[in-house]
Structure 1
Amino acid sequence: MVATLLHEVPLQGGDVTDGVVRVGDTVRRPASTSTPAVHALLRHLEAAGFDGAPRVVGMDGLGREILTYLPGRTGLRLESVTDEALAGLAGLVRRFHDATTGFPLSGRGWDGGSNDDRAPEVIGHCDVTLENVVFREGGPATPYALIDFDLARPTTRLFDVVTTLRHWAPLADPVDRAPLLRTVDVGARLRLFCDAYGVEPRERRRLLELARLRFHRSYAVMRTRAATGGNWAKMWAGGAGERIRRATAWLDVHEDELHAHLV
């Protein structure tokens, strides 16, 4: 009864999860099979002192998870594509990975998805899109938090770096990039991110190989999920598979040039 009296403001931006709303200083999200694992992770991050993620409040009377609302701006704008913003994001992802140290890497109900073949090292966010990074309002364009951990899972540091660079370098055919990112120097941005994160030289040599593997596996995962309907089917019908194929072809053409920036 109380829940129906609360003022709910729909929050837009995500591709997969519908029904996300803001209620005062909280966010209400539909629960999924991965919610218990995500809540355990968020509580671990809080205990570790990582301030770049929402806090778990609990569940409401409608069975939705309740998280703290993180003020700021998300999405693509001029200030979010600067070198300073990219370096800040690399530092944020590094701090997140470091904060997951000690969290169990097995035995929890993660939703799964494409992944590296190597043994997991950390819990990766695995969905650091432009919409899932929160920038502070006013002052320098500083990314200070990650949101939407629904696709988080055990993985390697490099795999999560690759998933982040897919959107932020971006590793994509120019025809599929937002206008502000269409003409950027992708190789320079790869190097900048790796420098700011602290990606080791031997891992940089593997980055593009892993990006290609991720493209191949993401295509297969998305096609399988699209067959179940819902938002995955909408994304597939909207050309998600074709965008992955174009990104793979673009990487094939530009691999030597990008590799030179990394090594």
Structure 2
Amino acid sequence: MSLSMALPEVFLGGGEVTEGVVRVGDTVRRPVRVSTPAVHALLTHLEAVGFDGAPRALGVDERGRQVLSFMPGESVSRPLPPFAVSDATLVALGRLLRRFHDAVEGFVPPPGLVWEDGSGDDGEPEIVGHCDVTLENVIFQRGVPVALIDFDLARPTTRLFDVVTTLRHWGPIADPVDADPLQRGLDVGARLRLFCDAYGLAPRDRRRVVEVARLRFGRSYAAMRARASREGGGWARMWASGAGDRIRRAAAWLDAHQEELERHLF
């Protein structure tokens, strides 16, 4: 698809891995990856079923970059604004993730598509999850989370794994030393319960939240170390900045607080 490059390019910061992301008018241009055809198939499905909380796939421009619709609003980064850690935001985010999962449930990926590697649950994949609902990958309008962006790490997984990945950042399931100052005084157990209630997580899955979080930490550590060595770039910078140490501290914090968290979840 050939699109005009007459409009100026505005650099979009915030991403830790993907470089060269710019806004051109009402579109976003991102480097093409091996997983781009798979991600565009996913976004096309979401558009077809009427899910409005994700960008639209618009093809490839003259420079070989993928073209996506620009999602109006704002993302958040550290230091976090107060609305980002509110209970209302957590509830709205839980409902947004559930709407996304329900919308993608009927998606049958065409054969031959390649997804990005990443950690996952041991269960049989149920959906194609976002798998990277970080603070920076949620779009807010008037303080309300309305959309998910940056689907580069989307891949087949379980609903629970995508929930746990989201809670890793938004609970947060982390050592307070690595959290934003506004997150350090939060009741994480109560927040996990609030999110799971808003999402409508089944009781059988609630019983596995801590188990899957622990599994994710171990596998994420190995996966990030491997990608930092193999791919360099943003992955290497994240690893050099202490990503592995942060994962290990989060895993230790989870072990120390397991009983407290499970009292809220069950």
TM-score by length of 1: 0.96
Identity %: 66
C-alpha separation between the residues in 2 aligned to 1:4 and 1:88? 36
Does the 8 A contact of 1:106 with 1:154 survive in 2? no
C-alpha separation between the residues in 1 aligned to 2:243 and 2:180? 15
Pair 1:56-2:39 in alignment: no
3-state SS of 1:183 partner: coil
3-state SS of 2:125 partner: coil
CA shift, 1:6, in A, is: 2.9
CA shift, 1:4, in A, is: 6.0
Match of 1:35 in 2: 36
C-alpha separation between the residues in 2 aligned to 1:105 and 1:153? 10
Match of 1:220 in 2: 222
Size of the aligned set, in residue pairs, is 260
Alignment of 1:53-202 (within 5 A): 53-75=54-76, 76-104=80-108, 107=111, 108-136=113-141, 138=142, 141-202=143-204
3-state SS of 2:172 partner: coil
Does the 8 A contact of 2:83 with 2:89 survive in 1? yes
C-alpha separation between the residues in 2 aligned to 1:118 and 1:98? 18
Where structure 1 has 5 or more consecutive residues not aligned to the other structure, the ranges are none
One-letter code aligned to 1:14? G
Match of 2:233 in 1: 230
CA shift, 1:147, in A, is: 0.2
3-state SS of 2:28 partner: strand
Does the 8 A contact of 2:38 with 2:109 survive in 1? no
1:259–1:37 Cα change, 3 Å: same
3-state SS of 1:227 partner: helix
C-alpha separation between the residues in 2 aligned to 1:65 and 1:233? 24
Does the 8 A contact of 2:51 with 2:100 survive in 1? yes
Where structure 2 has 5 or more consecutive residues not aligned to the other structure, the ranges are none
Match of 2:259 in 1: 256
One-letter code aligned to 2:172? P
C-alpha separation between the residues in 2 aligned to 1:183 and 1:119? 36
CA shift, 1:57, in A, is: 1.3
Match of 1:13 in 2: 14
Match of 1:211 in 2: 213
